[in-house]
């Protein structure tokens, strides 16, 4: 994925498959040799590690390429942990849907009915609008680290270990008018998901950390996933080291291991491995976590006019597989200030790919075009079942924030 600014990446996904790919696009087995080849090629583009999990029905494959740290060291393992970042939003959305089924809320209720004054606006904002990024809320991230808007990581480097409460971050984002009247536009907002995290804690009387474990991780079989305590940083198991590019040739990468989990909280703090991520999205689709009606509602995608589709906590993607070029896949992307993740799945949860690498390439330190081409080829092999040729002029653009 080509990162243009830290944790805000617009990536073009373009896939054209060879005749062999077209023949294999709907087969039930995985070409593990091809997947390994494409993942190795992807990791070889830059000085980073790439991890992936691919599934087609009951067949599955995981792989790792590269080293956990830049410049050498231990080889990455396919069960290494990473910040899944905004994929957390899909998990929080599942909890909100579950609470609706339990009669604790209605998606069309104003958030002010549950958390009076949490947002300082006279306009009515509903839970559904927060889930779908149609509330008109702005982002706090750029105000927290304003130098990023100028291409400098100085603010992030100086303050990455600072702890922030959700209320503090919401206040930072909402000291200006709404971007548009609620329901009349679309703008990606982690701020809204912080509000939803507070809502879950208020309705359950429990920590979001515990609720995600009980409602999502355990029933989905996500054995290594966890929601960190928000006053901590780092990882509690083997992991790839996250880096952001600096723009300074003398020290091209900044290790962001000490980045505070509190900055993304309910909008992006979950730590997991690639198998955990696939397990989650399959469980969302197969009835384990959501009813069929709830899942259909979550993946009722709308055109965001940002170049990709979005539902309620889930992003939609059409990779253009032969035989069914208009097939929609669901999932999410995530930028965790060092770990960047791309995860998409057929609507029946049978064909799956999660690809993550430990670099936010904001300054183009790694060749962006080569990076994009290698990514596209791996996604083609994973979702469509075959080799990839030259990229198409028709592209899907995906947002990865937080």
Residues annotated as catalytic are 86, 89, 188
Cβ-contact 124, 184 below 8 angstroms = no
Distance CA 28, CA 16 (A): 20
As a whole number of angstroms, the distance between CA 59 and CA 219 comes to 21
**Which helix (H) or strand (E) is 159 found in, with range?**
helix 154-159
For 278, the 3-state DSSP assignment is helix
- Identify the three-state secondary structure at position 56: strand
Number of H helices and number of E strands within the chain? 13, 17
Q: What is the DSSP string of 346-390?
A: ETTS-EEEEEEESEE-TT--S-HHHHHHHHHHHHIIIIISS-B-S
d(CA 278, CA 319): 18
CA 103/CA 352 separation, integer angstroms: 32
Q: Which of 271, 234, 318 is nearest to 91 (CA)?
A: 271
- At residue 291, what are phi and psi to the nearest 5 degrees? -70, 165
Q: Which residues contact 30 (CB under 8 A, 6 or more apart)?
A: 54, 55, 56, 59, 60, 61, 385
List of residues 6+ apart from 275 with CB closer than 8 A: 53, 60, 62, 78, 79, 224
State how far the Cα of 187 lies from the Cα of 102, in Å rounded to an integer: 29
């Amino acid at each position: 994925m080509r990162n243009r600014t830290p944790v805000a990446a617009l990536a073009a996904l373009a896939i054209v498959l060879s005749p062999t790919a077209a023949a294999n696009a709907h087969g039930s087995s995985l070409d593990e040799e091809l997947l390994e080849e494409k993942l190795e090629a992807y990791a070889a583009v830059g000085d980073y590690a790439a991890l992936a999990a691919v599934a087609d029905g009951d067949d599955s494959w995981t792989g790792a390429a590269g080293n956990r740290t830049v410049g050498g060291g231990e080889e990455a393992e396919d069960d290494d942990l990473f910040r899944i970042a905004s994929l957390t939003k899909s998990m929080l959305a599942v909890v909100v849907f579950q609470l609706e089924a339990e009669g604790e809320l209605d998606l069309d209720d104003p958030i002010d009915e549950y958390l009076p004054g949490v947002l300082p606006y006279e306009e009515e904002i509903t839970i559904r609008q927060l889930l779908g990024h149609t509330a008109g809320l702005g982002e706090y991230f750029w105000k927290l680290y304003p130098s990023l808007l100028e291409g400098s990581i100085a603010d992030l480097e100086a303050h990455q270990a600072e702890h922030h409460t959700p209320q503090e971050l919401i206040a930072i984002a909402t000291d200006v008018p709404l971007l548009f009247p609620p329901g009349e536009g679309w703008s990606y907002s982690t701020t809204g998901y912080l509000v939803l995290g507070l809502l879950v804690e208020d309705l359950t009387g429990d920590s979001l950390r515990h609720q995600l474990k009980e409602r999502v991780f355990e029933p989905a079989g996500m054995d290594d996933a966890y929601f960190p305590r928000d006053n901590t940083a780092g990882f509690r198991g083997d992991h790839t080291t996250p880096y952001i590019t600096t723009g300074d040739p003398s020290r091209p990468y900044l290790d962001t291991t000490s980045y505070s989990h509190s900055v993304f909280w309910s909008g992006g703090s979950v730590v997991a491995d690639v198998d955990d991520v696939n397990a989650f999205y399959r469980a969302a689709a197969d009835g384990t976590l959501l009813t069929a009606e709830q899942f259909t509602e979550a993946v009722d995608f709308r055109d965001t006019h940002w170049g990709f589709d979005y539902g309620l906590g889930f992003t939609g993607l059409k990779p253009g597989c032969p035989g069914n070029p208009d097939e929609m896949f669901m999932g999410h992307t995530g930028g965790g200030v060092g770990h960047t993740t791309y995860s998409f799945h057929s609507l029946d949860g049978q064909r799956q790919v999660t690809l993550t690498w430990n670099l936010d390439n904001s300054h183009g330190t790694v060749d962006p075009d080569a990076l994009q081409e290698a990514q596209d080829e791996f996604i083609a092999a994973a979702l469509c079942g075959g080799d990839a040729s030259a990229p198409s002029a028709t592209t899907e653009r995906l947002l990865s924030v937080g």
